[in-house]
Structure 1
Amino acid sequence: MIWELVATVFAGLGGAGIALLIRKLSKQTAPKWLVPVFAGVCMLGFQIQGEYDWYDHQASLLPEGVVVVKKVQEEAPWRPWSYVFPQTMRFIAADVANSAQNKIDPNLILVDLYFFERRTPAKRVPQVIDCLQSARADFTNSFSAESGSQTKWYPLENNDPLIQAVCS
């Protein structure tokens, strides 16, 4: 995050430099307020570009076999442009290549889900997917697939991207 701040400052300096060049070429007839306006616009533009490129950049860094199963696009009043072009600020990826099928019940598959969010480290959460029942459960030390167990299953739609990625 410190490098993003440094890059933003340099974008502002570059914008101010362009405005100073415009003032010099116009023999100082261009208004003085052009310098801070150019600096601010360049800094804001750099930040907006970074917000929109974050998802594509992170998704391109995922190794082969890790599939994005959900994107969360957000709008915010402090980013009015996001109402026209919503930003992807979070997404979930499933490590399908390293998933493991249960030897006793082949309908159960253990898969790692990775939760990515802008400006926070990724979180890994192991999940058990029941392909037959279209459901998922947290994989913990107390996990049990037997009926009557304390395991809480969360139903999923049959066309859920997680079911399609893991069970196909």
Structure 2
Amino acid sequence: MLLDVVIAACAALASVGVVMAGFRLTGRKAPRNLLMALAAVAIVGVTATLRYQWASNTEQLLPPEMVVIERLTFSNLIEPWSVVHPVTSRLVVVDRASLRRHAAHPGFSMVDVLLVQRDADTLVARHLIDCRNRRDAVMPADADLTADDLPGDLRWGGDAPAALYDVACQP
């Protein structure tokens, strides 16, 4: 966030500096209101650009074993351009390196799912995937697939993105 502020301030100063230099070359003084408006437009433009580029930049930084299965977008009236073209603010990522299967449970897979958010901590949840019934459940932190029985207190849901089942259930 601090880096975004520094980048926006530099963009504002650079745009004002270029316009002031142009006015100086013509021998005129730049109107103060024009410079203030130009700085404001530069700050808004750079901030919007950084927000739109966040998801693709973050995806490029992910290791190859991480697969983005869903992009969560938002729009609001404070950022009117986001109503026309929503901004991706969160990525749902599957860590294929964490994929585990157990011989006693051939139709089940366990995988870590990450929620990567802009300007927030990344959340990690271990999911148990029932490949046959296309449903999933969040595993307790201390649970593992090494036991013969599955944890009994799982709350199953079937509203996960289809890509989660594709990644977790492929042979």
Aligned partner letter, 2:31: P
User: Which 10-residue stretch deviates more, 52-61 or 26-35?
Assistant: 26-35
By how many angstroms is 1:29 displaced?
Answer: 5.6
By how many angstroms is 1:9 displaced?
Answer: 1.2
Q: Give the number of equivalent residue pairs.
A: 165
By how many angstroms is 1:98 displaced?
Answer: 2.7
Determine the structure 1 residue equivalent to 2:125.
125
Q: Does 1:20 align with 2:20?
A: yes
Identify which of 148, 151, 154 aligns with 2:154. Answer: 151
Aligned partner letter, 1:119: D
By how many angstroms is 1:73 displaced?
Answer: 1.3
Aligned partner letter, 1:136: D
Determine the structure 1 residue equivalent to 2:164.
162
Structure 2: 5+ residue stretches without partners? none
Percent identity among equivalent residues?
A: 24
Contact (CA 8 Å) 1:18, 1:38: kept in 2 or not? Answer: no
Flag as ranges the 4+ runs of structure 1 deviating above 4 A.
none
Q: Secondary structure at the match of 2:122?
A: strand
Question: What is the RMSD computed on CA atoms of the aligned residues?
Answer: 1.9
TM-score by length of 1: 0.89
1:13-57 deviations in Å (ceiling 9; x for gaps): 111111211221232165332211221111111100000000000
Q: Secondary structure at the match of 2:47?
A: helix
1:120-155 deviations in Å (ceiling 9; x for gaps): 121111111111111111111368637xx2211112
Structure 1: 5+ residue stretches without partners? none
TM-score by length of 2: 0.88
Determine the C-alpha separation between the residues in 2 that align with 1:108 and 1:33: 64
Q: Secondary structure at the match of 1:154?
A: coil
Aligned partner letter, 1:36: M
By how many angstroms is 1:101 displaced?
Answer: 0.7
